[in-house]
Every structure is written in C-alpha cells, then in structure tokens.
Homo-oligomer: A and B are copies of this chain.
Amino acid sequence: MDEFGVPGGRRLPKNFITPWVLLVLKQWSLHGYLILQQLNRMGFSDVDHATLYRELRRLEGQGFVASEWETGGSGPARRVYRITSAGEEVLLGWAEVVSGYQRMINGFFDLYAQAFGFALPADGGEGGRSGVPDLGDGEGDGDGEGEGAH
C-alpha cells in the first residue's frame, strides 16, 4: 500500500495521457521535452518521461503522429512531433471517450455530495475551467498549420 492508502498510488490510469498528447500536438508541433512540460502544466503531476517518449513512439508506429529530428539550435537534438490526419481522426474519438470520463466524474461528485451531505473536498467541479495558458513561457514555435484550422 502506498501514498495515502490509494492502491496503485500515484500511478496514472492506463491510456490517460494519450488524448492529451494528441490534442497538444493538434495545437502545437513540439518535441517530447516540451510536451512533458505542457502536460505538467495541464494538471498531470510529474509525468514520467520514459512513459511519454514510449507513448510518442507508439503513436508514431500507429501513424497518428510523425516526427523529424531538429538539429541546429543549442543543446541536444530534438525530435519534433506533429499530428497526422489519421491522428486528428482518432483525436475526435478520444474526445468522446474523455467526454464520457467527464460524465462519470460529474456522476461521482453528485453521489459524493449525497453520501457526505454536500461537502465537496476540492474544486469539486463548480464550473471552474482551468484556464490553460497559451504555452506559458515556451518557445512560441510558430508551427505550420495549427492557426488556420478553422
């Protein structure tokens, strides 16, 4: 038993980061290290880099993302990922899945309020919206498509 008694501890649910990775790459073309930081900024606490890098290779193997090396610039070479059109399609499917999670979570807190007499613990879904910034302090990147999507 670990952490605060939660079995599995701080282990993330299986397949949980996948839709976030695809969505981040829909919006920006980034290399792994920056994707990692973006995920952390979106509420994932300290994503394991091995998990992310392997997930990216898996998504590339499926044809949902593509990558090319970016040498030039300072520091080690970066493998920059972009989403493919196949990736955009599965992202739509994933959005439905995440929407399903959202409904389940709303149901959870409804019942939670019933069971505990309306004493929600944290943000409890008061409609908050997290307010994801436009890539905080990052590169800026520019990209190719992205903006024109609409």
Binding site for B on A (CB under 8 A): 1, 3-8, 11-16, 18-20, 23-24, 26-27, 42-45, 58, 62, 86, 89-90, 92-112, 114-118, 121-125, 127-132, 146, 149-150
Judging by beta carbons under 8 Å apart, are A107 and B43 in contact?
A: yes
Q: Which residue of chain B lies nearest to A58 when distances are taken between CB atoms in the complex?
A: B7
> Cα distance A107–B23 when bound, in Å?
11
Q: Which of B12, B19, B105 contacts A98 (CB under 8 A)?
A: B105
Stoichiometry, as copies per complex, reads 2
**19 pairs, A vs B, C-beta closer than 8 Å:** A5-B89, A6-B94, A11-B14, A13-B14, A13-B16, A14-B16, A19-B108, A23-B108, A42-B104, A95-B122, A96-B121, A98-B105, A102-B102, A103-B128, A106-B130, A111-B132, A114-B132, A115-B149, A118-B150
- Beyond A8-B14, A15-B8, A107-B132, whether A102 also contacts B115 by CB under 8 A is no
> A73 CB to closest chain B CB, in angstroms?
26
Contact between B93 and A27, CB atoms less than 8 A apart: no
